[in-house]
Amino acid sequence: MEEFFEVWTSQQLGIHTKTVALYNIDGFWGPLIAAIDASVDAGFLRPTYRAALIISDNALDLLNQLKVWKPAPQKWNESGTTRVVPFA
């Protein structure tokens, strides 16, 4: 799980622009997804970055989402200053 959050955080920071996805077979990731959504509701995570996380319980849907995915705006720019991403 630590690796998942490391890769997802690296995506948000602009270290990479690869997709990050959870294949939620039989609701296995349900509690984690609920915690992530609660973080959005509490204002700890911007909806933009939650939306960049691909989640599906269907393999074909997951593959389709991977094909059309676009990265969220990066939190940092080249000069190391924060780009403000407004809450949606």
Sequence ranges of the domains in the chain = 2-68
With a cut of 80, say whether residue 88 has pLDDT above it: no
pLDDT digits (tens, 9 = 90+) for 39-84: 999 999 999 999 999 999 999 999 999 999 998 877 765 555 555 5
The answer for 69, left when phi > 0, alpha when psi is -120 to 50, beta otherwise, is beta
56 has which bridge partners? 23
19-36 pLDDT per residue, tens = 999 999 999 999 999 999
Q: Which CATH architecture has domain 2-68?
A: 3-Layer(aba) Sandwich (3.40)
E strand or H helix that includes residue 30: helix 30-41
